[in-house]
Amino acid sequence: MALDFTRRGFFGLGAGAATLALTKPALAAGPSRRALKFHNTHTGEVFGATYWADGAYVPEALTGIKKVLRDHRNGAEHDIDTRLLDLLVVLRGKLDTNSHFEVISGYRSPESNAKMHKVSGGVAKHSLHMQGEAIDIRVPGRDLAAVHKAALVLKGGGVGYYPASDFVHVDCGRVRHWQQGRDA
């Protein structure tokens, strides 16, 4: 694809960038550092680090995040999509907290996902957990309904509300929402 360096092309490029900044708040100009803290409820592990600094992602922090968000059923690890991490930073800001995220499920291996899908209608056959693009969370000190509402307002991807299971699903896929016990 050739870039159009005419005046119209230049303004079109600017309009596209502005639209991206408005629809993806996590990617808009913001703090010079982004940090997250996680507590994996299954392994008991806690990890927190600045994962983005000085305009770049920090490889060591991404490695630590990948480890703490691994599939607790079999230890499989997978890169976590940085769009998801950026979305969590924005969510935390919307909730006005510096608290950690309690992780119910981060990455899920295809094997684990298939087993869970067999026994639960609440597990998608092609879950974004298998691509490192989804996470199931709670936020200490914040009501689950408030976490759900804040995630919906962001319109940053999919949001599932599971009050009976005590978590909110957040992903960086297409914008959609659903609730436990109800169709999407």
Angle, in degrees to the nearest 10, between helices 144-154 and 82-94 = 120
Query: Is CATH 3.30.1450.10 what the domain over 31-179 is classified as, yes or no?
Result: no
* Domain boundaries, given as residue ranges, for the chain: 1-30, 31-179
CA dihedral over 23, 27, 33, 38, signed as positive or negative: positive
Report helix, strand or coil for 180.
coil
Q: By the 8 A CB rule, do 90 and 133 touch? A: no
Distances (CA, A) of 107 to 16, 35, 63: 32, 19, 13
pTM here is 0.82
Tens of pLDDT, residue by residue, the chain (184 residues): 343 434 444 334 343 333 334 334 444 556 689 999 999 999 999 999 999 999 999 999 999 999 999 999 999 999 999 999 999 999 999 999 999 999 999 999 999 998 988 887 678 888 999 999 999 999 999 999 999 999 999 999 999 999 999 999 999 999 999 998 765 4
Alpha carbon distances (Å) from 155 to 9, 24, 39, 73, 106: 28, 8, 25, 30, 20
The residue type of 19 is T
